[in-house]
Amino acid sequence: MTNDPKYEKFLIKEFGHWKAYIHESQNYLGRFYLLAKREDALDFFEMHNSEIREYLSAGRMLKKSLEDLFHPDMFNYAIFGNTAKHLHTHIIPRYKKERLFGGVIFRDENWGGNYAPYDIDFKVSEELLIKLKDKIRDKLPNQ
């Protein structure tokens, strides 16, 4: 997850301290994550003040893009560090009713509960991921 070139095709936007990527798991349409660019960033509460300010600004901007595109009913946020030992936050849009994007129906099977566990067998094509990433990026304000 950290600075691996194979993920760059999923890059939504690069900020000064953060990179936003579309998540390969799209059980929740528009799921993305913010990844700290600082090499030694590990702990959420050890963020630098400039990282905090940009984290909030970037997160709000991306959240607004998803709200405009897909109208999620709410969002979940997850910061683990168990598998990828680098500071990142998952932003997970939640939906009461199904959404259609790129000919694929997205259903929030866990609405009203925790987003996990979810169907790990649900996959979308790389082509659809790129289309989704581009759609989100194109909805961001020009900065």
Instruction: Give me the chain's average pLDDT, please.
Output: 92
d(CA 117, CA 7): 23
Q: pLDDT for 25-77, tens place per residue?
A: 999 999 999 999 999 998 999 999 999 999 999 999 999 999 999 999 999 99
- Give the DSSP H or E segment for 32: strand 32-36
pLDDT for position 95: 98
Between these two residues, 5 and 110, which has the higher pLDDT value?
110
Domains and CATH numbers, the chain: 5-139 (3.30.428.10)
Q: Sign of dihedral through CA atoms 59, 65, 71, 72?
A: negative
Residue 141 per-residue DSSP state: P
Residue 6, number of CB atoms within 10 A of its CB: 6
